[in-house]
Structure 1
């Protein structure tokens, strides 16, 4: 099932998501639906709040970012993170242009740490603690922010936010073309 993507301005994007208990819901079906929704929207990550669910789960698949033959680092980087906790962010911060399915047609440079260590449960509720760097770390940090009620635009300078204000307002009012179904905040 392909869910509509929740647009900027919807309150669920600002909630700190709740942990998932094993048996609470059909996690395997939810994961399948989240990947299907993400691929339909041509994303590399999707967090549950982006489909209107304030629960701590996100999926990633970085393989579309590894189009260059020499850059196969992203190949096979397809994962599910349930109830994740970032244990440590370290390394130099570096800038990279980010976008978000909930904020279509807006891309801005965001500074993030180079390395992240994350503790999480996989789709079988088995615990893992792993360290990622580079673009993988960035994708994880971006999606993790979603389950903490944070958006990439929160990292922008107040000047950049003022420049984007009318575009963000238009997105929240449904005045945007995304190429995929979206849900907009109630008026």
Structure 2
């Protein structure tokens, strides 16, 4: 496994639509594991193919520590409700913005073994999945965000 370079905003690769994965091979699995390692090294909770220069419909998400989801060819089947919160992105360092996302989603994807899975996510988990899913269509959170800004420093008293 290897840590890959994260593609930053301004690189045209982040604005392209990704192609489907035709088969979950050892190469795809290795790429997904590299993505997981890169995400953790960068202290993120999700990372999509284009963020590491891979134009395939796949992402890795870890909305909570040690709860990793490998999503290959994901399709959002249902969206419900609304929630608004701040987001950041490994490809847009140093900024946060307020984004409206669904409160709940149902998503279908292939897992690391190439088996189809259907997941229901709500709250923060739904935000993470939608954020990463957008990357596969060339959409950055800043395209949807209001109040894009530098985060305030947190000081301990």
Per-residue deviation at 1:22? 1.2
Structure 1 residue 99: deviation in Å? 0.1
Aligned to 2:134: 145
Describe the SS at the equivalent of 2:103: strand
2:3 is matched with 2
Q: In structure 1, list runs of 5 or more residues that go unmatched.
A: 65-75, 168-187
Determine if contact 2:24/2:112 at 8 Å carries over to the other structure. Answer: no
- Alignment correspondent of 1:88: 78
Task: Encode CA deviations 1:4-55: one digit per residue, 9 max, x unaligned.
Answer: 1000011111111000111666122111111111111000000000001110
Q: TM-score, normalised by structure 1?
A: 0.75
RMSD over aligned CA atoms reads: 1.7
- TM superposition score normalised by structure 2: 0.89
Q: Does 1:15 align with 2:5?
A: no
- More helix, by proportion: 1
Partner residue in 2 for 1:99: 88
Which of 119, 127, 148 is matched with 1:130 structurally? 119
The number of equivalent residue pairs is 149
In 2, Cα distance between the equivalents of 1:147 and 1:127?
Answer: 18
Structure 2's unaligned 5+ residue stretches are 151-157
- Report what 1:28 is aligned to: 29
- Secondary structure of the residue aligned to 2:102 is strand
TM-superposed CA distance for 1:94, in Å, is: 1.4
Instruction: Name the structure, 1 or 2, with higher relative contact order (CA <8 Å, separation 6+).
Output: 1
